Structure 1
Amino acid sequence: MTPTLVPHHPARDWAEIQERMLVPLYEAVYDRLGVGAGTRVLGLRCGSGLALLMAAARGASVVGADRDHARVELARERLPEAVTVTEEPPEGVPYDVITAFHTTDRLLPELVAVTRTAQPGTTVVLAGWGPPERCATEPVLRVGARLADRRPGLVTDLDGLVAGAGLRPDGSGRVACPFGYANEGSAVRGLLSTGAFDEAVRATDLGQVEKEIAEALAPHVRADGTVWMPNVFRYVVARVR
């Protein structure tokens, strides 16, 4: 049965439902890099700012950038005044760490533009889905690929992005990030907010996409109505040459 959904607000659904699913990834990266007082962090594709807030709570000096105006506005509402969030990365500001926790293959031009002016040795972290066999959400995301008539696939070529941006590889890691939702309706809203189904919505209609996501979620609905999908995310660490 298709769940009854509240109106579709992708930016707010991302902030209120989906973004917290990646907290283990943010924590693992910050722990590995020793992000803390004195660290200057730039968050690319920062969304509504949870990763920025976590870095700021560690004492880091934080700036975020995201081209989604609605998410930027939410980030500005949620974050302390000391955290700057813009739609384009500020120019001429030095950073110790540049993160892109929500990497897509379309990130390369943005990544090149930012790292071209970064100081040698600046740390860059890119993150994306892990192996499909380790991601329970993979069959659900295939719905979007099928409806949009494009090739399915979860794994962004993080190593290719590092090479394409002219960065020096410096390690990688994997982090368990299970997706857990209170009910099917929440799961559908959260997944829609990721952007993975945007092409499918444009190619068909929102109602059809919601229906098919709900059907694909059926194996992950537990007896109490909650939805649980174990996933593994991968990140790579690189340095500006």
Structure 2
Amino acid sequence: MRGTATELTRAQRRARDWAEIQERMLVPLYEAVYQRLEVGPATSVLGLGCRSGLALLLAAARGAEVAGMEPAGELRSLAHDRRLRVLADVHRDASPGAPPPTTHSLVTAFENLYCAADAQELVRNAARLTLRGGHVVLATWGPPERCQSAGVLDVARRLAPPEPAKPAAGARYDPFGLSAPGKLESLVEGAGLRPDGSGRVSCPFAYPDLDSSVRGLLSTGVYDPAAEFSGEALVVKELTEALHPYLREGGGVRMANVFRYVVAQAL
């Protein structure tokens, strides 16, 4: 029981740090997509893997009707505190082959696509939840050479347990697994969607100090396998050292990053 309580406390702390520190780093991505698709009062937005819901709040501020799906209870609770309608699983009560209870004019996968156990299945579900003529937006990290956070994220890989000879789908959280040219487009085609454009957005990760940068990055979930395998103290130590090249005068931390998104239309 003690271990369970410890994990719950850590999960709650990570969720809070995501909402208070890390989530705002992706605001340029959210806003670029909403501006491109002219999100407004006529738009019904569903955020898949919406975490604590900042992207939904920004869509709601434009007048859109919003809802979300987030399996992590701690993050979902924070979304509820923001008065957002967020479910654990939009398919929980649906029978196999049945149409979804609600469809939307815009379905987004901003944060969870590159860590999904089955990215193709996630995109197929997104397509099922999108009105004909509506749009699905998929996002992921840009090329690692365009992301200064790539070396910092590599700490998670180095300290995680060794991969088995035949790893299960989604066994390793690889932030750049879908960054290669054509990867997102292949998911679109595999879900029967029609490509309708793409874009790249600068999303610098900027923090007021080293402590907040460590807490913010840990809240992404990238480092959880490494923390469980190598111990959180070692992960924090290695992460802190990896961040030192990005320390700025005054104690802040800043890393330039690029995120990529594709837009697809439901047929």
Q: Please confirm whether the aligned pair reaches a TM-score higher than 0.5, indicating the same fold.
A: yes
Matches of 2:175 and 2:130, distance apart in 1: 32
Kept in 2, the 8 Å contact 1:142–1:153? The answer is no
Question: For each residue in 1:8-44, what CA deviation from the matched residue of structure 2 results, as whole angstroms up to 9, or x when unmatched?
Answer: 5111100000000010100000000000012111000
Check if 1:96 corresponds to 2:96: no
Task: Tell me the distance in 1 between the aligned counterparts of 2:129 and 2:58.
Answer: 26
Count how many residue pairs are aligned between Structure 1 and Structure 2.
Answer: 232
Please say if 1:74 is aligned against 2:74.
no
2:138 aligned partner? 126
1:58 and 2:32 matched: no
Partner SS for 1:234:
strand
**Structure 1 residue ranges (4+ consecutive) displaced by more than 3 angstroms after TM superposition:** 149-153
RCO greater where, 1 or 2, for CA within 8 Å and sep 6 or more?
A: 1
State whether structure 2 residue 222 is matched by structure 1 residue 189. no
Instruction: Show the counterpart of 2:88.
Output: 87
Aligned counterparts, 1:1-241, within 5 A: 8=10, 9-79=13-83, 83-89=84-90, 91-102=100-111, 103-104=113-114, 106=116, 107-116=119-128, 118-148=130-160, 149=162, 154-156=176-178, 157-241=183-267
CA deviation after TM superposition for structure 1 residue 105, in Å: 5.1
Q: Name the % identity.
A: 52
| CA apart distance, 1:153 | 5.8
SS at match of 1:212: helix
CA RMSD of aligned residues (A): 1.7
Q: How far off is 1:203 after superposition?
A: 1.6
Q: CA deviation at 1:163?
A: 2.6
- Using the size of structure 2 for normalisation, the TM-score is 0.82
Return 5+ residue gaps in structure 2 as ranges. Answer: 1-8, 92-99, 164-171
1:207-229, Cα deviation, whole Å (9 max, x unpaired): 11111100100100112110000
> Any idea what SS the aligned residue of 1:55 has?
helix
Q: Is the 8 A contact 1:183 1:227 kept in 2?
A: yes
Aligned mates of 1:160, 1:11 — CA distance in 2? 32
Aligned 8 A contact 1:56 1:62 in 2: yes
Q: TM-score, normalised by structure 1?
A: 0.90
Check the 8 A contact 2:141/2:259 in 1, yes or no.
yes
Unaligned runs of 5+ in 1: 1-6
**In structure 2, do the counterparts of structure 1 residues 137 and 50 end up closer, same or farther at CA, with 3 Å as the change threshold?**
same
More displaced 10-residue stretch of structure 1: 205-214 or 97-106 = 97-106
Q: Deviations over 1:46-104 (max 9, x none)?
A: 0101000000000000011111111000010023xxx3111112632121000011121
Q: What secondary structure, in the 3-state scheme, does the structure 1 residue paired with 2:104 have?
A: coil
Distance between the aligned counterparts of 2:140 and 2:221, measured in 1?
14
The question of whether the paired residues in 2 share the 8 Å contact of 1:177 and 1:232 is answered with yes
Cα distance in 2 between the residues matched to 1:27 and 1:184:
27
